[in-house]
């Protein structure tokens, strides 16, 4: 029986290349037992994948990667096993969509000052209805010949270092954590890697974060060990996944390779079941 899960997958509903249905098919092919589609600030991929997951007997848990503000920087928080059949989280995410549009306009303005000619409509067209983000701008810069690849676009123009301070319209990380919990879900720090100082990780923990994504392609063994020990010390959930953005015909992909054991999914489900029961009692 398959015993692995990939809890970090992106689809065409945000900045990935797979359709939600293809993500489920890939999971079946790679013998995964469970996946979470975690598109940026939208649950659309989860809803679109449910029928295919049921057909192929792949467990699909609700997931989304929510963008928040931690001081002047972006902080990405993963939400799992929230109540997906109410509009509580969806109404929150609709505001996130507007925040993403405002933010990308600021990024485009900054890039244009660096001598690049690109406008919002081009990037919006590239997103094709998905939640817009920097990867879509990177693809436009590649198509227009300013760079040789999206990766080069991030190095030359789109990294946090190159962009400097861009006005952030996202909610504070504390608000996101509270919102996810109120929806009966678990909130997890995504790919902390070298992104956060020890003091910043302490802020997440003090705010009531439920877990940390310990297993991620950007984490070497020392980082995995560091964050696993942090989870054990603070009794936090440990999650992980491929963070795949690849399409169906990609060469090497972390999808199906960077995984976590099913016991971690069961831990998320136990915690969120208890949380939903408490929330129902309060209401």
DSSP string for residues in the chain: ---EEEEEE-BTTTT-SB-HHHHHHHHHHTT-SEEEE--BT--HHHHHHHHHHHHHT-EE--EEEEEEEETTEEEEEEEES--TTSSHHHHHHHHHHHHHHHHHHHHHHHHHHTT----HHHHHHHHTTSPP-HHHHHHHHHHTTSSSSHHHHIIIIISHHHH------SPBHHHHHHHHHHTT-EEEE---TTTS-HHHHHHHHHTT--EEEEE-TT--HHHHHHHHHHHHHHT-EEEE---B---TT-SS-STTTS-EEHHHHHHHHHHHHHHHHHHHHH-
- Domain with 268, as residue range(s), is 4-93+168-282
Q: Indicate the residue among 119, 138, 163 that finishes a domain.
A: 163
| CATH code where residue 77 lies | 3.20.20.140
**Rama region for 41: left / alpha / beta (φ>0; ψ in -120 to 50; rest):** left
Is the domain of 55 the same as that of 180? yes
Is the domain of 58 the same as that of 143? no
* Neighbour tally for 151: CB within 10 Å: 11
Q: What is the pLDDT of residue 246?
A: 85
Q: What is the pLDDT of residue 279?
A: 61
pLDDT means over runs of 10, the chain (283 residues)? 90 92 96 97 95 97 96 93 87 87 90 92 88 88 92 88 81 96 96 93 98 97 96 97 85 88 97 84 47
Number of structural domains, the chain?
2
Is the domain of 193 the same as that of 142? no
Q: What is the pLDDT of residue 281?
A: 45
| CATH code where residue 110 lies | 1.10.150.650
What is the value of pTM for the model shown?
A: 0.87
Q: What is the pLDDT of residue 83?
A: 92
- Would you state the structure tokens that stand for residue 99, as one six-digit string? 């925040």
Is the domain of 155 the same as that of 277? no
Q: Indicate the residue among 136, 163, 190 that finishes a domain.
A: 163
* Neighbour tally for 94: CB within 10 Å: 12
Q: What is the pLDDT of residue 121?
A: 92
Is the domain of 112 the same as that of 210? no
Is the domain of 258 the same as that of 198? yes
- Would you state the structure tokens that stand for residue 23, as one six-digit string? 């993500």
Q: What is the pLDDT of residue 165?
A: 78
Q: What is the pLDDT of residue 90?
A: 85
Is the domain of 213 the same as that of 260? yes
Is the domain of 85 the same as that of 197? yes
Is the domain of 156 the same as that of 65? no
Is the domain of 85 the same as that of 131? no
Q: What is the pLDDT of residue 252?
A: 73
**Alpha carbon distance 175, 152 (integer Å):** 34
Q: What is the pLDDT of residue 131?
A: 79
Q: What is the pLDDT of residue 283?
A: 47
Is the domain of 177 the same as that of 143? no
Q: Indicate the residue among 163, 186, 201 that finishes a domain.
A: 163
**From edge to edge, which strands make up the β-sheet containing 186-189?**
63-70, 73-80, 186-189, 211-215, 237-240
């Amino acid at each position: 029986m398959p015993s692995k899960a990939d809890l970090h997958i992106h689809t065409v509903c945000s900045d990935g290349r797979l359709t939600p249905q293809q993500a489920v098919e890939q999971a079946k092919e790679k013998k995964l037992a469970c996946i979470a589609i975690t598109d940026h600030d939208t649950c659309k991929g989860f809803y679109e994948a449910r029928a295919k997951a049921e057909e192929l007997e792949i467990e699909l848990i609700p997931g989304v990667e929510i963008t928040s503000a931690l001081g002047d920087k972006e902080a990405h928080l993963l939400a799992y096993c929230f109540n997906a059949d109410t509009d509580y989280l969806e109404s929150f995410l609709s505001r996130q969509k507007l925040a993403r549009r405002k933010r990308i306009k600021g990024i485009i303005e900054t890039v244009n000052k660096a001598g690049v000619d690109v406008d919002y409509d081009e990037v919006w067209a590239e997103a094709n209805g998905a939640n817009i983000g920097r990867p879509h701008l990177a693809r436009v810069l590649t198509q227009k010949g300013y760079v040789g690849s999206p990766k080069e676009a991030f190095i030359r123009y789109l990294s946090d270092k190159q962009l400097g301070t861009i006005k952030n319209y996202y909610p504070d990380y504390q608000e996101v954590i509270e919102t996810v919990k109120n929806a009966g879900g678990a909130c997890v720090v995504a790919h902390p890697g070298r992104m956060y100082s020890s003091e910043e990780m302490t802020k997440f923990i003090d705010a009531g974060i439920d877990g940390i994504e310990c297993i991620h392609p950007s984490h070497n063994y020392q980082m995995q060990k560091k964050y696993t020990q942090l989870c054990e010390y603070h009794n936090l959930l440990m999650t992980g996944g491929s963070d795949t953005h690849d399409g169906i015909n990609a060469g090497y992909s972390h999808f199906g390779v960077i995984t976590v054991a099913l016991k971690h999914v069961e831990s998320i489900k136990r915690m969120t079941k208890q949380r939903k029961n408490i929330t129902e009692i309060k209401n």
